[in-house]
A and B are shown apart, each in its own frame.
Chain A
């Protein structure tokens, strides 16, 4: 299952919706309709834009406000936590959990036999597909609306895209934001949809010179939940004993296998999801941000945000001169 960006729908409802052209807010239609163009580019990036024969058309933006929670009460594998504590109850909860196709799931079982009600006999790593999906929805809506604005200007592409997600006033509300500068390349065939790229300025010029055409910005969030079993719990609390795991050193120093598997899975999933959106093109200038949230004692949620510019090679590399080393006198 690959969370793909949904096509951006029109923003409907709410105050002042005039349902402007292309489903954009009324104010956007008004702003984009005339007068001076605007550009979010710095002057240097603007200068190299002109050098590339790109005409700035306007600053374009897209937003999506979402109700948001990092935790979910129902669905997926959630709701199992209760069952994990007591040894006996767990089997039933686990058996009824619905596993989605392609979803990452891995289980651990305690080697100790029954110890007590507090003892965690089972551990599990699983992918939070619902969280990945809703992230893709929010990001896709914001980027899609930005592209709509550009399309309404007749743009060839959007350069210098900036996107983020931030909490908004009030609890459990976040806003996905995307903005960039729409440009037109005159006397050139236009792509079916405007291209988008995080790059701008001289970096973008160099990309073209190197033989790559920007296709689109690509981003994905992967999320893996780790519900620790007894040994993982002991290890994270520093109370694991030697001999409970294979290759530990002396005095309870050892690798925390379940965490490492969750971390590796989150990164692998992010890379696979992004690759699924590349269609054989190249992902350039990628960045990976990872974070963990402790969702309870011995339980973690691992998230990886991977984004970059999808680019297509349209010609072979030109032979380059050998670079000359320079020393800057600064």
Chain B
């Protein structure tokens, strides 16, 4: 059936039929993602959200040198709570998991704000199966991952906040005019990165993950104090469910549509162009 006929059939349905009634699904997935999910037997249920703000005590940025434990504790608490809220909403609408979770992290002087937003999905035609996963992977990644025998478990996140140490007057004087490494700064930032990743790994281990994929490492200035750096690592904990990895061989394509993203030029001429 050509798309022209389908459009006509659709118009017929619009002019004749009425809305189906009942509880409609909502989703932020693209049509590609919806179709992909459907092709592996899943469907979107509802958009779900989890937001958590945690307070950070006043003064920690000023009075601490090295790592700011209070801030990373607030981050961990907020991530846990937001994920819990997301999970609660997912279960309430009968979803099995949450896909494509967008993670927003904002750190200000006195609080950490974590916002999670994703689409709850479930297996088509099955009754409520119980909660299985939260993941920031897209539906595409989910399809590929599950076909390879792996399964997402949950968000693994870790953060670390560090106040860069000041150089002493003696150090400053001796380093003037030289090109030299600043070992204490190197060490402080190095430790902070390690700290964020280690906390993320611990979060992964606690959900019994075999690995964490698609880790995003973000770093930058935190709070209004210019000496404070933040390091945040977030990924999806995955588990090898199938016993062993199923190899998927990709095909290569050379696209000619660098600018035009929403429409594949090659598709006009059938697969692969001429």
In contact, B11 and A285 (Cβ under 8 angstroms):
no
Q: Which of B16, B26, B268 has the most CB of A within 10 A?
A: B26
- Say if the beta carbon of B78 comes within 8 Å of chain A: yes
Residues of A within 8 A of B8 (CB): 53, 185, 187-188
Residues of A within 8 A of B263 (CB): 44-45, 47-48, 201-202
In contact, B70 and A253 (Cβ under 8 angstroms):
yes
Residues of A within 8 A of B34 (CB): 210, 284
- Say if the beta carbon of A119 comes within 8 Å of chain B: no
Nearest Cβ on chain A to B120's Cβ, whole angstroms: 12
- Say if the beta carbon of B32 comes within 8 Å of chain A: yes
- The one of A185, A256, A267, A281 in contact with B24, judged by C-beta atoms closer than 8 angstroms, is A281
In contact, A283 and B31 (Cβ under 8 angstroms):
no
* Known pairs A254-B54, A255-B78; A280 contacts B14 (CB<8 A): no
In contact, A263 and B53 (Cβ under 8 angstroms):
yes
In contact, B20 and A281 (Cβ under 8 angstroms):
yes
- Say if the beta carbon of B81 comes within 8 Å of chain A: yes
- The one of A201, A208, A264, A275 in contact with B26, judged by C-beta atoms closer than 8 angstroms, is A275
In contact, A279 and B24 (Cβ under 8 angstroms):
yes
Residues of B within 8 A of A236 (CB): 55, 110-111
* Known pairs A185-B8, A320-B38, A321-B39; A249 contacts B28 (CB<8 A): no
In contact, A53 and B7 (Cβ under 8 angstroms):
yes
Residues of A within 8 A of B249 (CB): 325
In contact, B4 and A285 (Cβ under 8 angstroms):
no
Residues of B within 8 A of A280 (CB): 19-24
Nearest Cβ on chain B to A184's Cβ, whole angstroms: 10
In contact, B260 and A42 (Cβ under 8 angstroms):
yes
- Say if the beta carbon of A96 comes within 8 Å of chain B: no
In contact, A191 and B15 (Cβ under 8 angstroms):
yes
Q: Majority SS of interface residues in chain B?
A: mixed
Selecting from B168-176, B228-236, B251-259, the interface stretch reads B251-259
In contact, A329 and B252 (Cβ under 8 angstroms):
yes
Nearest Cβ on chain A to B143's Cβ, whole angstroms: 7
Give B50-94 as 1s and 0s: 1 = Cβ < 8 Å from A's Cβ atoms: 011111111110000000001001100110010001000000000
Tell me the A193-210 residues at the B interface (CB within 8 Å).
195, 199, 201-203, 205-210
- Say if the beta carbon of A18 comes within 8 Å of chain B: no
In contact, A255 and B4 (Cβ under 8 angstroms):
no
Nearest Cβ on chain B to A324's Cβ, whole angstroms: 6
- Say if the beta carbon of B25 comes within 8 Å of chain A: yes
- The one of A202, A203, A286 in contact with B47, judged by C-beta atoms closer than 8 angstroms, is A286
In contact, A330 and B258 (Cβ under 8 angstroms):
yes
Bound-state CA distance A321–B40 (Å) is: 10
In contact, B51 and A267 (Cβ under 8 angstroms):
yes
- Say if the beta carbon of B214 comes within 8 Å of chain A: no
In contact, B73 and A326 (Cβ under 8 angstroms):
no
Tally of A-B residue pairs with Cβ under 8 A? 252
CB-based nearest A residue for B24: A278
Tell me the A132-165 residues at the B interface (CB within 8 Å).
156
Tell me the A37-79 residues at the B interface (CB within 8 Å).
42, 44-45, 47-48, 51-54
* Known pairs A201-B262, A288-B117; A322 contacts B39 (CB<8 A): yes
- Say if the beta carbon of A290 comes within 8 Å of chain B: yes
- Say if the beta carbon of A328 comes within 8 Å of chain B: yes
- Say if the beta carbon of A219 comes within 8 Å of chain B: no
- The one of A189, A240, A267, A326 in contact with B49, judged by C-beta atoms closer than 8 angstroms, is A267
Nearest Cβ on chain A to B199's Cβ, whole angstroms: 14
- Say if the beta carbon of B35 comes within 8 Å of chain A: yes
Bound-state CA distance A207–B144 (Å) is: 22
Nearest Cβ on chain B to A211's Cβ, whole angstroms: 8
- Say if the beta carbon of B187 comes within 8 Å of chain A: no
Bound-state CA distance A240–B14 (Å) is: 57
- The one of B28, B57, B143 in contact with A253, judged by C-beta atoms closer than 8 angstroms, is B57
Residues of B within 8 A of A178 (CB): none
Residues in chain B within 8 A of chain A (CB atoms): 3-4, 6-32, 34-36, 38-40, 46-47, 49, 51-60, 70, 73-74, 77-78, 81, 85, 109-111, 115, 117, 143-144, 147, 248-255, 258, 260, 262-265, 267-268
Q: List 30 A-B contacts (CB under 8 A).
A: A51-B3, A156-B11, A189-B12, A189-B16, A191-B11, A203-B32, A214-B10, A238-B57, A238-B58, A252-B57, A253-B55, A263-B51, A263-B53, A264-B49, A267-B49, A267-B51, A278-B24, A283-B27, A284-B27, A284-B34, A285-B31, A286-B27, A286-B28, A312-B17, A312-B19, A314-B12, A323-B39, A324-B251, A326-B250, A330-B254
